[in-house]
Structure 1
C-alpha cells in the first residue's frame, strides 16, 4: 500500500491476499535494511522474529505476531498491524510540563521544548509496562523509543525489535522507572519459565536459536540468569547511552 516514511529502514504497509480488504501488516524486506556498524548485515528481520518467539516463550505476549516470508521486495519480516489506519494508538510514554500532576506516571528524563521551557518524559506506572521493561532487558533492546509501546483496546503492544540480542550490553530505553527495584514475582516466574525453555530442545526455542550467533544466544541466557540472580531491574551503568535518540 505504501512506504512508512518515518522508519529508518525500508518499511511497508501492506495487505495480505485481498489488496482491498485483506489483513493489514507491516512488511520489512531484508533488502531494505540499512547497514549498521554494530549489527551484522541482513539480520534485523530474523531478530524481529526471534523477539516475538522470546516474548511468547516467556509468557509476556506483548509483540504482535511476527513471521518471516517472501514479499514483493524479497524475503523479510511480516507483522500484524495493530489498530486502525485513521486512529492514533494510546501511547504509554508521555511528555508533561514540570509542575503538572504526574499521577500514574514515572518521570525518567528531563527535556526542553522549542522555546527552552522544561519538560519531563514519563511513562505509565503500570504492571504491563513494567513487564515490557523486563522483556527489553532480556532482549537487550537498544532502541525502545516511546512510540514503540502503545495500547490498542486496552492491550499493550510493543513493536520494532530489529536492534536486539547483541552480545554486548546495549540496553537503551525510556522505561527506566523501576531501575534498581526488586522484580515482581510474576516477572521472576516468567524469567524462570523462559530459562527452562531456552535450555530445552523445544521447537520455538530451537528456531529462536537459529536466528542468533552462538555468542548472542549465550549472552541471552546470561542476561536471564543475571536477572534471576539479582532479582532486580538493572540500572544504567554509564558505559553506554541509556536513552535512545530520539526518545519518543
Structure 2
C-alpha cells in the first residue's frame, strides 16, 4: 500500500529528465483562481497513466509562474454512463467544496487552453508516496479526510481512489480527480470507509444540511436532474446524521490506489 500512485508521476522531458515544477503554491484561493483564469498557459508535459488527456502546464501571470493541471474536453474518452464534458464536473466539485466551506478541492476553473476548452486546476505539490491508506493512520489528518469523505457522499463520487487524496506540502489534504462525480444515479465508489458509524460533528452536519439547497454556482456545470439528486443525497445524509458503512463491501473503486 505504500507505493506512490502511478498517475501522479510527473512527466519527463524529451531527454528523460523529470520536469521541475515552476513553484510551490500556498496563496489564498481567490488569488489562485485569478492566476488560473488570467495567466498564459504553456504545456510542460502529459501526465502519464491518465485515462484521459491530462497535462501539466505552467501558468504565467504577473509575478511567479504557477503549476497547474489542464484537462481539455477534446481529450476525454467517451463513457456510456457520463456525458461528455467531464471537466465541468471538476469545476462543480471545486464550487461545491468552496460553498460548503470545506476547501478540500484545489482551485479549478474553465479555460480555453492549447487543446481547447477544459478545466485548469491548481497543481498540488505533495509527497506522492503518501495517499489515503497512509494518511488515515495519523489522527491529525482525520479532519480533512472526514470532509473529503462527506464531500464524496454528497457529490456521489464514483472514483475516490487512495491516490486521489494528496497531502500538500503546505498542510491541507486535497481531493483530486473529480470528473466522475454528480451522476443522478447512486454510483458511490470510495476507499474512505474508516469513519463509518461516526456521528457528524456540528460543523460537518450543518454544512451537509446546507447542500440540500445546492449552491447556485453549480447550475452552470450540472444538469437539473443531477442537482436534484445532489439535494436528495444531502438531505438524506443530514437526517442520517453519521458516516455510513459499506456493509456489502461492494462500493470500492479499482484499482484501490
Please report the TM-score for the alignment, with normalisation by the length of structure 2: 0.76
1:242 to 228, 251, 254: 251
Larger fraction in strand: 1
1:182 to 199, 205, 210: 199
Q: How do residues 83-102 of structure 1 correspond to structure 2 at under 5 angstroms?
A: 83=125, 88=128, 90-94=130-134
In structure 2, how many angstroms separate the alpha carbons of the residues matched to 1:88 and 1:179? 26
Q: Please state whether the residue corresponding to 1:61 is helix, strand or coil.
A: coil
In structure 2, how many angstroms separate the alpha carbons of the residues matched to 1:176 and 1:237? 10
Does the 8 Å contact 1:236/1:242 carry over to 2?
A: yes
Larger fraction in helix: 2
TM-aligned CA deviation for residue 55 of structure 1: 0.3
**Residues 144 and 45 (structure 1 numbering): CA distance in 2 closer, same or farther, change over 3 Å?**
same
Q: How do residues 50-69 of structure 1 correspond to structure 2 at under 5 angstroms?
A: 50-69=92-111
For 2:155, the equivalent position in structure 1 comes to 139
Does the 8 Å contact 2:128/2:166 carry over to 1?
A: no
TM-aligned CA deviation for residue 11 of structure 1: 0.0
In structure 1, how many angstroms separate the alpha carbons of the residues matched to 2:244 and 2:129? 29
In structure 1, how many angstroms separate the alpha carbons of the residues matched to 2:71 and 2:217? 20
State the aligned residue count. Answer: 211
1:215 to 213, 225, 248: 225
RMSD, aligned α-carbons: 2.2
Matched, 1:163 2:180: yes
**Residues 237 and 47 (structure 1 numbering): CA distance in 2 closer, same or farther, change over 3 Å?**
farther
Does the 8 Å contact 1:89/1:151 carry over to 2?
A: no
**Residues 155 and 136 (structure 1 numbering): CA distance in 2 closer, same or farther, change over 3 Å?**
same
For 1:17, the equivalent position in structure 2 comes to 60
Q: Please state whether the residue corresponding to 2:71 is helix, strand or coil.
A: strand
Does the 8 Å contact 2:54/2:72 carry over to 1?
A: yes
Does the 8 Å contact 1:139/1:220 carry over to 2?
A: yes
In structure 2, how many angstroms separate the alpha carbons of the residues matched to 1:225 and 1:234? 14
TM-aligned CA deviation for residue 75 of structure 1: 0.3
In structure 2, how many angstroms separate the alpha carbons of the residues matched to 1:89 and 1:177? 20
**1:163-189: CA deviations, max 9, x gaps?**
000011111101011223322222102
In structure 1, how many angstroms separate the alpha carbons of the residues matched to 2:65 and 2:51? 26
Matched, 1:33 2:92: no
Does the 8 Å contact 1:142/1:173 carry over to 2?
A: yes
Please report the TM-score for the alignment, with normalisation by the length of structure 1: 0.78
In structure 1, how many angstroms separate the alpha carbons of the residues matched to 2:138 and 2:172? 17
